[in-house]
Structure 1
Amino acid sequence: MKLISILCLLFFTSPSFAVDTVRYNLSLQYPDPKQQYYIDILELALDASVDTFGEYELLAVNIEMPQGRASTVLELNEVIDVTWRMTTVELEQRLKAVPVPLLRGLMGYRIGIIRKGEQENFPANITAEQLRNIVIGQGHDWPDSIILRHNGMTVVEGLEHTMFTMLRLKRFDFFLRALNEPWVEVADKPHLVVEKNILVQYSAPIFFFVNRNNLRLHERLTVGLNIAIDDGRFQRLFEGHPVTANMISNAKLKQRKVFKLFNPLLSVETKKLQEDKWLWY
């Protein structure tokens, strides 16, 4: 009986008998080329784990839904199998995080997009008090809004696809973005530019998340990412991907005044993860 049980276990868990289907959300109405980095990291993790978990099928689900809705759908175990978001305590309670910071912590290095011709409103010697009086734009379901308000910043929220219109119409004056984001976003918007003097910094790792009951996918992504970290593929993708390759040099971090903020949304587990220095920039 013990032999039969072992044989059955091998049959049902052998990679040769299973293909993992992994679905993620991709917007067609509001395409975002920056998401390709996370899709490629996802594919890297799945490729790196083939020897252990078998083949896979990666599918894009073309349904329009903001970050918050995607998390809810994933929590209900419907439509998609994985998403990637900046982590919070609340999100880690609802979903199961794969504890590898996909952008090596640089999601929390924030520089701004402003209206062309208004750089003088953001001088190199700007003070914290002056920064708190500048109206900052953020998405309505982004945890950044909570972090910024917790640190005394003035925030106006809007739908993600309306933010640039709101900036143009002066609903706010400063659109904080992660290091990999602003240059792509202003390339086709001649009325907007990347601000030159300010870096707002807070701890904000972005993780893959899966449904809490999807233990196989969680283990597969964890194993795959760690294999890719150990053999250097993760670092090569991070340094060479079109979305991330030039973000450090473009940002000219040493020329910026740094304002460090406290993130009240981090879990104990995520704070402890910061002790693994290699995972972070």
Structure 2
Amino acid sequence: MSLQRRDLLLTSAAVVFTPAVAAPRPLRIPHVSARAELERSYPAQLLEQALAAAGMPVQLEPTTELIPQNRALQELGRKRRLDVVWTMTSVERERQAWPVRVPIFKGLFGWRLLLATTDVAARMREVRSPGELRQFSMVQGLEWPDTSILQANGMNVVISPSYDAMFKQVRLGRADAFPRSVEEIWWEVERYGQGLTVVPDICLHYPAAIYYFVAPEENELAAAIELGLTRLRANGAFDRLFETHHGQDLARAKLATRRVIELRNPLLPPQTPLNKSELWHRP
């Protein structure tokens, strides 16, 4: 199904969708992060609130095991294990599944701080351009969209198949730094950052959106999620939940005081709503 055809179906579904009081629908979601308990996570809470606002109450049913992002997309569909996945969008991912084009993290995963040893951090804090950043190596995960984004910008990327090993690689000098989103880095410093520090004065930025994705045939579910998110934005509940979960991390990051190294994101689909400033965080 073409992206244009999907968009037309989603628009039609949104118009005819009529919220109704009903028993909670079981909704299968992935356990995609080791951070916090899933039922308390921001994406899970936002999804539950959005569908409630759209008149489709749900009972979230997370998987018991962690599921990598790429595999989670493959598990979408009635005959598979998942109903909704949230992950960073790309042209390829929007071919695989149906995106609800509301960036639920307001682009926070495109704002990156750098974990490094103290010695490397002292040198990296002087970086003023992508060209100077290319003098340093950065570790990223296998099949992560960010890996391709950094490589497309000519960065020296060390690829690792193991999340836990990436922190060790930086400590051992096998990579100079580990770029992490402002939403992730402070939690990771506390748990995995022994011997590492957040590089001061600079940050990386590229446009990046994390969406909810559903199976291509689930146009009614996609329409309900979009309707609910629109209603939460209109009544302020979206921003309140965002601030509750991310306000402290953003305050600690002090992005407005940092030198921003802008990078391009060639994976970003042309339908990404970059022109809607109200959907994005800007320091």
Q: CA deviation at 1:125?
A: 4.8
Aligned residues: 260
- 8 Å Cα contact 1:147-1:262 kept in structure 2: yes
Question: Partner of 2:133 in structure 1?
Answer: 131
Tell me the distance in 1 between the aligned counterparts of 2:202 and 2:80: 41
Relative to structure 1, the CA distance from residue 59 to residue 136 in structure 2 (aligned partners, 3 Å threshold; closer, same or farther) is same
Question: Partner of 2:250 in structure 1?
Answer: 248
Tell me the distance in 2 between the aligned counterparts of 1:81 and 1:247: 30
Question: Partner of 2:215 in structure 1?
Answer: 211
- 8 Å Cα contact 1:124-1:256 kept in structure 2: no
Q: CA deviation at 1:117?
A: 4.5
- Unmatched 5+ residue regions in structure 2? 1-17
Structure number with greater Rg is 1
Tell me the distance in 1 between the aligned counterparts of 2:227 and 2:148: 32
Question: Partner of 1:259 in structure 2?
Answer: 261
Q: CA deviation at 1:149?
A: 0.9
Tell me the distance in 1 between the aligned counterparts of 2:21 and 2:90: 37
Q: Of the candidates 21, 40, 50, which is equivalent to residue 45 of structure 1? A: 50
Question: Partner of 1:175 in structure 2?
Answer: 178
Q: Is 2:37 the counterpart of 1:25?
A: no
Question: Letter of the aligned partner of 1:262 in structure 2?
Answer: R
Tell me the distance in 2 between the aligned counterparts of 1:219 and 1:148: 33
- 8 Å Cα contact 1:107-1:204 kept in structure 2: yes
Relative to structure 1, the CA distance from residue 75 to residue 129 in structure 2 (aligned partners, 3 Å threshold; closer, same or farther) is farther
Tell me the distance in 2 between the aligned counterparts of 1:279 and 1:83: 20
Tell me the distance in 2 between the aligned counterparts of 1:253 and 1:48: 32
17-26 or 184-193, which deviates more: 17-26
Q: CA deviation at 1:147?
A: 1.0
Question: Partner of 2:278 in structure 1?
Answer: 278
- 8 Å Cα contact 1:77-1:211 kept in structure 2: no
Residue deviations 1:241-278 (CA, integer Å, cap 9, x gap): 2xx122222112233221111111111211xx111111
Tell me the distance in 2 between the aligned counterparts of 1:93 and 1:166: 34
- 8 Å Cα contact 1:45-1:228 kept in structure 2: yes
Question: Percent identity among equivalent residues?
Answer: 33
Question: Partner of 2:204 in structure 1?
Answer: 200
C-alpha RMSD of the superposition = 2.1
Residue deviations 1:88-133 (CA, integer Å, cap 9, x gap): 0111111000110111112111111112453212133544333102
Tell me the distance in 1 between the aligned counterparts of 2:47 and 2:22: 22
Q: Is 2:238 the counterpart of 1:234?
A: yes
> Residue 147 of structure 1 aligns to a residue in which SS?
helix
Question: Partner of 2:5 in structure 1?
Answer: none
- Unmatched 5+ residue regions in structure 1? 1-12
